[in-house]
């Protein structure tokens, strides 16, 4: 369910409301009982926090060790 932002046309009070998409928009200000309007916002979308996400973070460690062993053996053969 998205969070909608509203602003009162009478007193300027801004607030957010967690509503389902099918719910009717709020029309009365909870502070002054004036008329409110839903603001258009882009929304939060997908937010990544932290140092980053890499494909190597999720690789199978067993496959990784096999790949490094085969890479080492192929370099030894080419050196000879």
Over the stretch 1-51, which tens digit does the pLDDT of each residue have?
Answer: 788 999 999 999 999 998 988 999 999 999 999 999 999 876 666 667 777
Model pTM score: 0.51
C-alpha span between 70 and 41 (Å, rounded): 52
Q: Which of 16, 11, 10 lies closest to 38 in space, CA to CA? A: 16
Give the Å distances, CA to CA, from 30 to 1, 26, 56. 21, 10, 50
Q: Which of 50, 52, 68 is closest to 60 using CA atoms? A: 68
């Amino acid at each position: 369910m998205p969070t909608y932002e509203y602003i009162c046309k009478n007193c300027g009070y801004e607030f957010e409301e967690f509503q389902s998409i099918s719910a009717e928009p709020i029309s009365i200000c909870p502070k002054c009982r004036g008329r409110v309007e839903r603001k258009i916002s882009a929304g939060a979308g997908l937010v990544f926090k932290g140092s980053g996400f890499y494909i190597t973070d999720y690789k199978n460690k067993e496959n990784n060790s096999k790949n490094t062993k085969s890479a080492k053996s192929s370099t030894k053969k080419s050196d000879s």
